Amino acid sequence: MRDISRRGMIGLGAGAAATLGLAACGTAQLDGPSRGGGSSSGRPGAPKHPARPLGDGSTSYTGKQPYQPKRPEPLEPGETPPQFVIFSWDGAGEVGTGLFDRFLELAKDHEAHMTFFLSGLYLLPESKKRMYLPPNNPKGASDIGYLTDEHIKATLKGVRQAWLDGHEIGTHFNGHFCSGYGTVANWTPAQWRSEIDQAKSFVKEWRTNTGWTDMPALPFDYEKELIGGRTPCLLGQNNLLPTAKELGWRYDASSPGGRQRWPQKNQGVWDLPLQAMPFPGHSFEVLSMDYNILANQSINTTRAPSYNYPAWRTQATQSYIAGFKRAYETNRAPFFIGNHFEQWNGGIYMDAVEGAFKYIAREKEKGGDVRLVSFRQFVDWLDVQKPEVLTRLQSMDVGQEPAGGWKSYLGGQAA
């Protein structure tokens, strides 16, 4: 998260569109009580049931997660599908910038949910780094480094509050290796299993690894909470998927270069990729992640001259909004957005994400069936839909409107 200069890019298309490549890491009606105001440290959301410690007490079972949507139902014949939008965060580490709290508050203000792909190493003190055995890399190695004790505590606080607010905690694995012999692109299914087991152990045993006894446990069972992730630099999905399926994961968000279409399963797991979206001022599209916009604007430089920032901020905001509108007004394909808790180029990408989030939330609040959800909540909806309805949705191309309108296009599917 703190050393972007060591990350490369993956080509995802021909010609100018190849700049869609990615390489970066960083940090509906609801059940439960109504949300109140206040900071993330004081907002409501305490578990209703007494916590039952798990393992060494780093995690605990506290009952059903608060603020979850009502149980999803299949679309009725001819019903217009909702417009799902999923904001997700790679790494999910808090390093003193306040970005974790900023976006928790934003989501709370709009009764929205997101997915946080936690890097397991962000809960492991650097003094214990030799506990990490990364495949094809030296013991304790990491291309994103380790957090300070202060930042580990802040990350624990953010992750705990995120779950209590109804957000999903996924995984971004550990060391973020994207190049050379040790790249995740070369890992075998067995090596992915080792990486996942270690990522889970760092979350489930942070109390033992840190020695801290004055912080509350994470309020969830990570074995049950973890149902998906996103790989570093969107590499290695093919060999990850057999392991993901074996572990019972329900989705993977690692596929590079997706398009704004309804998703399908790959090796029995829902494939939910970042997507190509319009890029104002260009003839090519850009991947729906903050770093990919940066890579096209400042060529991997995270501290470009500040006179560029206003125009770049506007361009990034409008790109996300254009991606949303294209889906919302045509095929209603879910829109997936990836982010990092980073202040790249003066924080303009955080401003852009917030601006787009507020625009989309306003559409929801106008009465449109727009749902700002986590990946977990989205696959819950997918899994109750009739196969013939999903087939009809999946057959639609980017920007394609339903022939004859939704009532006609999905009207005969009950038969």
Average per-residue pLDDT in the chain? 90
Helices (H), 226-343: 237-246, 290-298, 309-328
Please give the pLDDT value at position 45: 55
Strands (E), 52-209: 52-54, 59-61, 83-91, 115-118, 168-171
Whether the CB-CB separation of 134 and 175 falls below 8 Å is answered with: yes
β-bridge mates for residue 399, sequence order:
none
Tell me how crowded residue 90 is: count the other CB atoms within 10 A of its CB: 32
Please give the pLDDT value at position 48: 61
d(CA 189, CA 168): 25
Token code pair at residue 239: 């060999």
The number of angstroms, rounded, from the C-alpha of 328 to the middle of its chain's C-alpha atoms is 20
Whether the CB-CB separation of 279 and 319 falls below 8 Å is answered with: yes
Tell me how crowded residue 89 is: count the other CB atoms within 10 A of its CB: 29
Whether the CB-CB separation of 158 and 97 falls below 8 Å is answered with: no
Token code pair at residue 9: 């890019």
Tell me how crowded residue 73 is: count the other CB atoms within 10 A of its CB: 10
* Domains delineated in the chain: 4-28+53-65+77-409 (3.20.20.370)
Please give the pLDDT value at position 56: 97
d(CA 292, CA 152): 27
Tell me the pLDDT tens digit for each residue of 165-215. 999 999 999 999 999 999 999 999 999 999 999 999 999 999 999 999 999
Residues of the chain with pLDDT under 50: 1-23, 26-42, 414-415
Please give the pLDDT value at position 11: 29
Please give the pLDDT value at position 25: 52
Token code pair at residue 332: 């209603």
Tell me the pLDDT tens digit for each residue of 144-163. 999 999 999 999 999 999 99
Whether the CB-CB separation of 362 and 111 falls below 8 Å is answered with: no
Please give the pLDDT value at position 46: 57
The number of angstroms, rounded, from the C-alpha of 84 to the middle of its chain's C-alpha atoms is 14
d(CA 345, CA 26): 15
d(CA 120, CA 176): 11
